[in-house]
Structure 1
Amino acid sequence: MLKFSAAEDTSEDKSSAKDIERSSDDASRSADHAIICQAPGEGACEITGCVVLNPKIIVVADRWNMSLKVLSTDASNPEVISCLKLECSPFDLTLTPGNKIAVTVPEERKIVFASIQKEELSLCKTPGKEKKDGFNLHYMCYGINYSEQKLYVVIQKDDSEENYQLLILKVADGSTLKSLPMQQYRGLRYLAICHDKIYMTSDSGTLRFKKRTEDIKIVEKDRFSYGIIEVDGDIIVCNKSRNSIHTVSRSSKLAYFSGRRELLAIPKPLALCYCPDTKRLFVSQSRECGGRANVLTVRQMK
């Protein structure tokens, strides 16, 4: 466990925090500020998953630095508070009961669990077990979400781009409740749950899966969709090809630009999360964006 009092940039990317924040503002149409994700001594980041723990703290998965990080959302001091190094790269994470964080680790083909105390993360016992080895899935795992005592996980059964499945697990012990094939869709990544529907992002666009009928439909054909969340019934998607954060909903409550569904114009958005208490949206960017991959862009929503 590493804990930091200040976020210093000692990597090859020498951009200052102010420079990164300023460039992020220019690219994202006056975003409020940027939260530093790069810890002292680290190389460039790529934040592939993020979740709001409370209005003051975000937990992120940094795939390139193989770590989970606690970030301060304080605009006067937005930085890395602590960092938990893992043996392999994490991909996505979600909150589960008891403030445990479930994390997908594709290379280990498992879900591990972490908890936070006094702003420090540590691996914790897996539900239903006395060990910290997590739920072994035997397949690469990516997007994850929690709802109603279940974990929903995107898995890839082999290296084929056409062999994805949606796995539904019992959070209490990791037992498989259902496995749904998604072979007709390429590059499945993240998912969000809204009532009786599951939305998933992929290279084919944004998919909607109805739990009861198991009907699947592409609701948006924009390719290369990545992070996705549900906010007050709205589905918000990161789209790298459009350089946009936008809603899939036709009549979005969150529409920021008059007459449009775009919430934020930002290069190569990757993952996102939302704090309902402060009404702030947090967005990470791909390493294709250089120094902006080292911060989370913040947008104050109306």
Structure 2
Amino acid sequence: MSLRWKKVMKSRPAEDTGGDKTPAKHNDVERSSDEGSDSVDQAIICQAEDEGACEITGCVVLNPKSIVVADLWNKSLKLLSTDASKPEVISCLKLECSPFDLTLIPGDKIAVTVPEEEKIVFASIQKEALSLDDAPGKGKRDGFYLHCKSYGINYSDQKLYVVIRKKDNEENYQLLILNVADGPTLKSIPMQQYRGFRYLTICHDKIYMTSDSGTLRFKKRTGDIKFVDKDRFSYGIIEVDGDIIVCNKSRNSVHTVSRSSKLAYFSGRKELLAIPKPLALCYCPDTKRLFVSQSRESGGRANVLTVRQMK
């Protein structure tokens, strides 16, 4: 699959909602299409009725018609429909503390990091309704307690990979590898020499992580760490067919980072999308659509997921 963007007609920016508690107005967001061409510019509303402004810090595609997002500011997980014939917020699960990131794991569960609770909680969907679920394993538990703040999370080969920050130092970040079946730590990799770790994605034997200093690559076998992109304030990151795609708030850009791999379509960095303050992203391989959230700094656009069609 080649990661080429269709030409997009820019939509009018939505009005800045700031941090108020104004009920959602679903007609505030403009949906547009470039008539006479195959351009697409769609916005999926994440703001439920009677909710304040959103900040979507994590998102994951369940299937071609639904997405689950973590709404930091409204302390909730939300099931969203990508089907225009359905209400966009199908289910909203309120949490005691704000979620940050989420990933799919076996058994149709969703693992969610909750920094303030210093744990990973689990959710599932039954009859289009989100609910908290027991942690994996034989014992009935309400999550994995980490005793440290957790941020980006990803699943691969029966393991959970989590960015954590230790209590003793605000810059004491580590990459934690957990057994998905019962939670015991398999490995902890110090990252103190870097600042502001947030998200991660996994591609074969490499782990890519975003931070205030840029995007780093960690090789599982050798333990080698190096920068692959030095643009500061990198946020959401995903892997699509060998390409590593990153959100960068300082550049207002979603772009690929350089990789030496025969799998990667791009040989170096390439900007895919100019968008104000991109924060998190996910991709649906069936429909070849990319979903991007924006921080509250972008104003009313923080209340929607912007959808971009790939060829």
Normalised by the length of structure 1, the TM-score is 0.89
Counterpart of 2:166 (choices 157, 179, 185) is 157
Q: Name the structure 2 match of 1:248.
A: 257
Counterpart of 2:292 (choices 283, 289, 293) is 283
Q: After TM superposition, give the deviation of residue 32 of structure 1 in Å.
A: 2.1
| 1:88 matched to 2:105 | no
Over 3 Å counting, the alpha-carbon distance change for 1:18 and 1:264 in structure 2 is: farther
Q: After TM superposition, give the deviation of residue 150 of structure 1 in Å.
A: 0.2
Over 3 Å counting, the alpha-carbon distance change for 1:118 and 1:198 in structure 2 is: same
- Measured in 2, the distance between the counterparts of 1:12 and 1:67 equals 15
Q: After TM superposition, give the deviation of residue 15 of structure 1 in Å.
A: 8.0
Q: Name the structure 2 match of 1:268.
A: 277
Counterpart of 2:146 (choices 127, 133, 137) is 137
Q: Which moved more, 1:79-88 or 1:11-20?
A: 11-20
Equivalent residues of 1:88, 1:107 under 8 A apart: yes
Aligned length: 286
| 1:185 matched to 2:194 | yes
Equivalent residues of 1:34, 1:78 under 8 A apart: no
Q: After TM superposition, give the deviation of residue 81 of structure 1 in Å.
A: 0.6
Counterpart of 1:220 (choices 222, 229, 236) is 229
Partner amino acid for 2:188?
Answer: S
Aligned to 2:300, the other structure's residue is in SS state helix
- Measured in 2, the distance between the counterparts of 1:246 and 1:78 equals 31
Q: After TM superposition, give the deviation of residue 118 of structure 1 in Å.
A: 1.2
Q: Name the structure 2 match of 1:74.
A: 83
Partner amino acid for 1:134?
Answer: G
- Measured in 2, the distance between the counterparts of 1:134 and 1:289 equals 33
Q: Name the structure 1 match of 2:210.
A: 201
Partner amino acid for 2:58?
Answer: G
Equivalent residues of 1:15, 1:291 under 8 A apart: no
Equivalent residues of 2:160, 2:180 under 8 A apart: yes
Q: After TM superposition, give the deviation of residue 133 of structure 1 in Å.
A: 1.6
Over 3 Å counting, the alpha-carbon distance change for 1:274 and 1:134 in structure 2 is: same
Equivalent residues of 2:75, 2:94 under 8 A apart: yes
Partner amino acid for 1:46?
Answer: E
Q: After TM superposition, give the deviation of residue 129 of structure 1 in Å.
A: 4.2
Partner amino acid for 2:220?
Answer: K
- Measured in 2, the distance between the counterparts of 1:121 and 1:15 equals 21
Partner amino acid for 1:100?
Answer: K
Equivalent residues of 2:76, 2:93 under 8 A apart: yes
- Measured in 1, the distance between the counterparts of 2:266 and 2:51 equals 36
- Measured in 1, the distance between the counterparts of 2:239 and 2:137 equals 28
Q: After TM superposition, give the deviation of residue 125 of structure 1 in Å.
A: 1.1
- Measured in 2, the distance between the counterparts of 1:105 and 1:159 equals 19
> Can you list the C-alpha shifts for 1:252-290, whole angstroms capped at 9, x where unaligned?
5379xxx97111110000000000000000000000111
> Can you list the C-alpha shifts for 1:156-182, whole angstroms capped at 9, x where unaligned?
002634200000000000010000000
- Measured in 2, the distance between the counterparts of 1:76 and 1:159 equals 50
- Measured in 2, the distance between the counterparts of 1:111 and 1:18 equals 35
| 1:60 matched to 2:69 | yes
Q: Which moved more, 1:155-164 or 1:281-290?
A: 155-164
Structure 1, gaps ≥5 residues long: 1-8
- Measured in 1, the distance between the counterparts of 2:153 and 2:294 equals 19
Over 3 Å counting, the alpha-carbon distance change for 1:78 and 1:245 in structure 2 is: farther
Aligned to 2:30, the other structure's residue is in SS state helix
- Measured in 2, the distance between the counterparts of 1:217 and 1:19 equals 43
Counterpart of 1:37 (choices 29, 41, 46) is 46
Q: Which moved more, 1:132-141 or 1:153-162?
A: 153-162
Q: After TM superposition, give the deviation of residue 128 of structure 1 in Å.
A: 1.4
Equivalent residues of 2:243, 2:259 under 8 A apart: no
Over 3 Å counting, the alpha-carbon distance change for 1:198 and 1:121 in structure 2 is: same
